[in-house]
Amino acid sequence: MRKIFVLLFVLSIFASAILAEETPSKPNIKQKDADSFVVLENISYVTNGSPLQQLDLYLPKGYQTASKPVSVVVVIHGGGWTNGSKDLLKFVEWSRFYAENGYAVANINYRLRPEFLLPTQILDVKSAVRWLRANAKKYNLDVNHFASFGSSAGGHLSAALGTSAHVKEFEQGENLDQSSAVQAVVDFCGPSDFLTFRAQNANVRKSFFGENADNEDVIKNSSPLQTVTSQAAAFLIVHAADDKTVPIQQGKSLHEALQKADVESRFLELSSGGHGSPQFNSPETKKQILEFLAKRLR
The dihedral built from the CA positions of residue 235, 240, 243 and 248, taken in this order, carries a sign that is positive
Read off the pLDDT of residues 232-274 as tens digits, 9 standing for 90 and up: 999 999 999 999 999 999 999 999 999 999 999 999 999 888 9
Cα 51 to its chain centre, rounded Å, is 17
Residue 173, classed as helix, strand or coil, is coil
The per-residue pLDDT of the chain, averaged, comes to: 89
Q: Nearest 5°: phi and psi at 167?
A: -85, 95
Instruction: State the pLDDT confidence band at 23, using cuts at 50, 70 and 90.
Output: very low
Task: Give the pLDDT mean for 8-16.
Answer: 32
Edge-to-edge strand list for the sheet holding 265-270 = 37-44, 54-60, 104-108, 70-76, 141-151, 184-188, 234-240, 265-270
Nearest to 132 by CA among 223, 79, 77, 69: 69
User: Can you give the pLDDT at residue 202?
Assistant: 86
DSSP 25-39: ----HHHHTTTTEEE
Least confident span in 202-206, 215-219, 254-258: 202-206
Nearest to 159 by CA among 54, 86, 265: 265
CB 105 within 8 Å of CB 63: no
C-alpha to C-alpha distances, 120 to 52, 54, 162, 218, nearest whole angstrom? 12, 15, 17, 11
Instruction: State the pLDDT confidence band at 155, using cuts at 50, 70 and 90.
Output: very high
User: Can you give the pLDDT at residue 6?
Assistant: 36
User: Can you give the pLDDT at residue 162?
Assistant: 98
User: Can you give the pLDDT at residue 283?
Assistant: 96
Read off the pLDDT of residues 61-109 as tens digits, 9 standing for 90 and up: 989 888 899 999 999 999 999 999 999 999 999 999 999 999 999 999 9
Asked if pLDDT for residue 295 goes beyond 80, the answer is: yes
| Percent of residues, the chain, with pLDDT higher than 90 | 81
User: Can you give the pLDDT at residue 66?
Assistant: 87
User: Can you give the pLDDT at residue 17?
Assistant: 33
- H helices present in 110-247, as ranges: 120-134, 136-139, 153-163, 202-209, 216-221
Task: Give the pLDDT mean for 105-117.
Answer: 98
CB 36 within 8 Å of CB 61: yes
Task: Give the pLDDT mean for 127-148.
Answer: 98
CB 160 within 8 Å of CB 274: no
Instruction: State the pLDDT confidence band at 35, using cuts at 50, 70 and 90.
Output: low
User: How many residues does the structure list for the chain?
Assistant: 298
Q: Which residue has the higher pLDDT, 36 or 186?
A: 186
Q: Which helix (H) or strand (E) holds 52?
A: none
| Percent of residues, the chain, with pLDDT higher than 70 | 88
CB 260 within 8 Å of CB 229: no
Domains of the chain: 28-297 (3.40.50.1820)
Asked if pLDDT for residue 165 goes beyond 80, the answer is: yes
What are the residues facing 235 on neighbouring strands?
185, 265
Residue 197, classed as helix, strand or coil, is coil
CB atoms within 10 A of CB 250: 27
Which amino acid type is present at position 121?
Answer: Q
Cα 55 to its chain centre, rounded Å, is 12
